[in-house]
Amino acid sequence: MAAGDPTRVHGVRAGERVLMPGLTRPEAEAACGWLARVHPGDRSLALAEVALPVVLSDGAGPHLLDAGGALVLALGPHPSLPGARMAMGAAPPRYVVGLVRAIGDGGWIWVARAEVEEADRVAALDELDAVEDRTALSSWAAVRAGVIPIVGM
């Protein structure tokens, strides 16, 4: 992500690992605050809200940067799970889809996520949209992702 923007050279050190490479300095400083409140075992599921010069419409946004530095777009609110937003990130040849929720101060976290082939992306999002409760979300995650822990829903 940082290749086109010389200000996006920061990340957050968590032990030996650098999380969310591609942040601006203010985004990284903000992330230090909220990331400290995330359980260390869940930090790989953390996402930082980033400001990009892009126009969004129809309720999409914000843009998020995942722990590995990949861009994710929060698509819109989930119809049945309050506080959760559908999300998708490009990571060809597989795409990340799932649910995210805000944890405050520009921090977000994956609630459930899966990597899918491009041809399966719409089906995975449709299945996720049809989820009606936590039990169904757990089933979706188990089938799609091989059991990704559901965080704080």
Per-residue pLDDT at 91: 72
Per-residue pLDDT at 147: 47
Per-residue pLDDT of the chain (153 residues; tens, 9 = 90+): 545 677 888 999 988 889 999 999 999 999 999 999 999 999 999 999 998 877 666 777 899 999 999 999 999 999 999 999 999 997 777 899 999 999 999 999 999 999 998 889 999 999 999 999 999 998 898 888 764 555 555
Identify whether 93 is preceded by a cis peptide bond (ω within 30 of 0): yes
For residues 118 and 102, is the Cβ–Cβ distance under 8 A?
no
Closest CA to 78 of 2, 6, 153, 3: 153
What is the helix, strand, coil percentage profile of the chain, to 5? 30, 40, 35
For residues 103 and 137, is the Cβ–Cβ distance under 8 A?
no
Alpha helices in 9-96 (DSSP H): 25-35
Per-residue pLDDT at 2: 47
